[in-house]
Amino acid sequence: MAVNKLSKLKNDFLEDLEITKGRSLKTVENYDRYLSSFLKFIKISEPEKITDDMIHNFRLWLNRQPGSNNGYLKKNTQNYYLIAIRAFLKFLAKKNIKSLAPERIELAKTSGRQLDLITPEELEALLNAPDDNSEKTLRDKAILELLFSTGLRVSELCSLNCNSFNLQTDEFSVRGKGNKVRVVFLSEMAQKALTNYLAKRSNIDSEALFVNLNKGGQAKRLSARSVERIVKYYAIKAGISAKVTPHVIRHLYATDLLRNGADIRAVQIMLGHSDVSTTQIYTHVTDKQLRETYKKFHGINRKRQ
């Protein structure tokens, strides 16, 4: 039986993703699924036989696949397949294996990602919603302040241990997606909230920073779902009608930095984004500043009629 060269190269690519690129097993599984669908569709075994027509026909097939709400596959979902194919072709090019040029893969046009944000006043109300000195409330206050101070993903927050940082300094390292380490910073409010929480924290036999205080016996590390429930509870308590999640607070962290003049490349690093294009979804917040700059500096020497 003839060896399917493309299948073997796909496996080599997936191993490279996991080992060299440090991608998570979930990401590798997703890329495997996307590429397997593509290879099954084109029905060839040699990389040099991949053509523009094959890509075109595969995109047509994707566009006609059933999706959610009795509709078709969303453009964003279709792009996941195309991104995987493009990454695979880049891998082949790097290995000097003849195939279709990766830049031939163009992503589907999307309507643009919308950010779910709340107003600065609502944010302040959310952060002030935990308003007593019980251990649970101080824990929740620390969670909210830490999320806004650092822009941590909820998974990163949940993985923190009591020895993850030194409260005498205003920065610490966190390991994020792709096993990459980055530095995040603590505001004075976050430092104060953490100090108050740790001072009140019971002598719990757990290295986890944030634990579930409602269950008897051994305390368990808070799950991402538990943190989501905590954020939702205080959003309702603060009278916020919009849906608020830990990821919304991460959005607010990024937009607050940009509104106050932070460079997008710096924000990219602080968020732990591997590609600045991911960070660019936040640049809409500078629209007002751009308008003010335009009015201030454009055509100032022209005589008014």
Q: Which are the catalytic amino acids?
A: 153, 177, 247, 250, 273, 282
Task: Give the C-alpha separation, 82 to 105, whole Å.
Answer: 7
Q: Which of 271, 244, 300 is nearest to 115 (CA)?
A: 244
Closest CA to 58 of 6, 108, 13, 110: 108
What does DSSP assign to residue 202? -
Long-range contact list for 199-203, CB < 8 A, 24+ apart? 200/133, 200/134, 200/135, 200/138, 201/135, 201/139, 202/135
Q: Measure the CA–CA gap between 41 and 14, rounded to whole angstroms.
A: 19
- Residue tagged 């390292």 (tokens): 173
Give the list of residues 6+ apart from residue 104 with CB closer than 8 angstroms, or none: 52, 55, 89
Instruction: Supply 66's token pair.
Output: 């059933």
Sequence-distant (≥ 6) Cβ neighbours of residue 195 within 8 angstroms: 167
User: Which position has the token pair 């990401």?
Assistant: 27
All residues at 6 or more sequence positions from 226 whose CB lies less than 8 Å from its CB, including other chains:
212
Q: What CA–CA distance (Å, rounded) separates 145 from 186?
A: 9
Cβ–Cβ under 8 Å, residues 187 and 167: no
